[in-house]
């Protein structure tokens, strides 16, 4: 597939380079309404483990109740499958962003256009919760908020779960408006049961703990 992008704005264009891709894009136009999301079925990675070399996509299939693992497409029954690869190696880096869009947001069909080079199918990421602009970067996808809104947010931090590098989770504070996360301050007293309890409540909804040594009860809403 020939892949183009609009200045990292969360917009991509796909142009067919093979007969199979022509058929898949035609099937996509039939199966998906504008604004519809493509089904994501996984990716292939280069030896570095992070650079994406292929993205597995499905349109028009039904999500199986019991996923069949014998194929990357086994999550879907029916529909039309595509292994999205970059025909031009200089465009291969777009696949990493497309995979992040699929995984954290939604690879969304925006319609079909034409120019002197022929037909082009347009796709975008999900949209910002605050301004409805397209999401463009990994932090956008994780938070569902664009960088402009995140940068301008006055932030109201509350105890919560934050995502670290490598998609790990840890305890910290999260802005209730833009979902930006920050770690606990270096001098934070990690023996503070009240704070830790709030984190647990943010995660699983538990609102009180009993100290098994003293019987003391701490409630998350005891302010
Ligand atoms: Zn925004
Ligand atoms: Zn914020």
Asked if residue 17 is part of any domain, the answer here is: yes
Ligand 1 is an ion; its neighbours by CB within 5 Å are 128, 130-131, 133, 146, 149
Residue with tokens 């996360």: 181
pLDDT, the chain, mean: 83
Return d(Cα 27, Cα 80) in angstroms, integer.
7
pTM above 0.85, yes or no: no
- The reply to whether 135 falls in a domain is no
Between these two residues, 6 and 54, which has the higher pLDDT value?
Answer: 54
Are 91 and 175 in the same domain?
no
Quick one: pLDDT band at residue 16, thresholds 50, 70, 90? very high
40: left (phi over 0), alpha (psi -120 to 50) or beta: beta
pLDDT at 199: 67
User: Which of 84, 108, 124 is a domain's end point?
Assistant: 124
Higher-pLDDT residue of 120, 126: 120
Residue 31 has pLDDT above 70, yes or no: yes
Which one of the ligands is nearest to 158 CA? 2
Residues 109 and 195 in one domain: no
Question: What was the pLDDT predicted at 56?
Answer: 97
Is the same domain home to 86 and 26?
yes
Closest ligand relative to 144 C-alpha: 1
Q: Which of 135, 71, 72 is nearest to 100 (CA)?
A: 135
Q: Work out the average pLDDT over 24-33.
A: 93
Largest CA distance in the chain: 77
| Higher-scoring residue by pLDDT: 199, 172 | 172
Helix or strand or coil: residue 159? strand
Same domain, 166 and 108: no
- Average pLDDT for residues 199-217, to the nearest whole number? 72
Residue range 189-203, pLDDT digits in tens = 655 666 666 666 666
Bridge partner residues of 3 (DSSP): 14
- Which residues have CB under 8 Å from 52's CB, separation 6+? 43, 44, 45, 46, 95, 96, 98, 99
Instruction: Decide if 84 contacts 92 (C-beta within 8 A).
Output: no
Residues 35 and 81 in one domain: yes
Strand partners, 172: 160, 183
Give yes or no: residues 84 and 169 share one domain.
no
Task: Assess whether 159 and 118 both reside in one domain.
Answer: no
Measured in Å, residue 138 CA sits from the centre of ligand 1 at: 14
Is 212 a domain residue? yes
Is residue 103 domain-shared with residue 202, that is, in the same domain?
Answer: no
Domain annotation covers residue 147: no
| 72 and 178 together in one domain | no
Give domain status of residue 198, yes or no: yes
Residues 28, 107 within the same domain = yes
Domain boundary among 124, 143, 176: 124
Q: Is 138 within a domain?
A: no
∠ CA 209-213-217 to the nearest 5 degrees?
30
pLDDT of residue 168: 56
57-66, long-range: CB < 8 A, 24+ apart = 57/81, 57/82, 57/84, 57/102, 57/107, 58/82, 59/24, 59/27, 59/28, 59/31, 59/32, 60/27, 60/28, 60/30, 60/31, 60/32, 63/39
Domain span at residue 116 reads 2-124
Contact 219, 207 (CB under 8 A): yes
User: Percentage of the chain surpassing pLDDT 70?
Assistant: 82
The pair of three-digit structure tokens given for residue 4, joined into one six-digit string? 């183009």
Pair 139, 152: CB distance under 8 Å: no
Q: Give distance in angstroms: CA of 143 to centre of ligand 2.
A: 10
210 has a pLDDT exceeding 80? no
Domains of the chain: total: 2
For residues 119 and 52, membership in a common domain is answered with yes
- pLDDT score at 53: 96
Of 185 and 8, more confident: 185
Question: Does some domain include residue 169?
Answer: yes
Quick: pLDDT tens for 148-165. 999 999 999 887 777 654
Judge if 157 and 116 occupy the same domain.
no
Task: Quote the ligand 1 centre to 150 CA distance (angstroms).
Answer: 7
In a domain, 139, yes or no: no
pLDDT beyond 80 at 42: yes
């Amino acid at each position: 597939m020939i892949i183009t992008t609009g200045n990292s704005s969360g917009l991509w264009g796909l142009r067919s380079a093979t007969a199979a891709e022509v058929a898949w894009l035609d099937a996509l136009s039939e199966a998906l309404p504008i604004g519809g999301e493509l089904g994501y079925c996984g990716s292939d990675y280069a030896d570095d483990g992070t650079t994406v070399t292929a993205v597995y996509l499905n349109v028009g299939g039904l999500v199986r109740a019991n996923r069949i693992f014998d194929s990357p497409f086994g999550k879907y029954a029916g529909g039309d499958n595509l292994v999205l690869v970059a025909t031009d190696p200089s465009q291969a880096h777009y696949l990493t962003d497309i995979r992040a869009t699929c995984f954290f947001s939604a690879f969304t069909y925006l319609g079909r256009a034409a120019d002197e080079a022929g037909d082009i199918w347009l796709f975008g990421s999900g949209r910002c919760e605050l301004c409805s602009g397209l999401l463009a970067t990994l932090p956008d996808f994780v938070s569902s908020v664009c960088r402009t809104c995140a940068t301008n947010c006055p932030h109201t931090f509350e105890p919560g779960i934050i995502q670290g590098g490598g998609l790990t989770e840890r305890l910290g504070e999260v802005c209730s408006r833009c979902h930006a996360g920050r770690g606990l301050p270096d001098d934070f007293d990690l023996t503070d049961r009240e704070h830790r309890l709030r984190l647990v409540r943010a995660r699983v909804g538990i609102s009180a703990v009993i100290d098994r040594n003293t019987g003391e009860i701490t409630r998350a809403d005891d302010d």
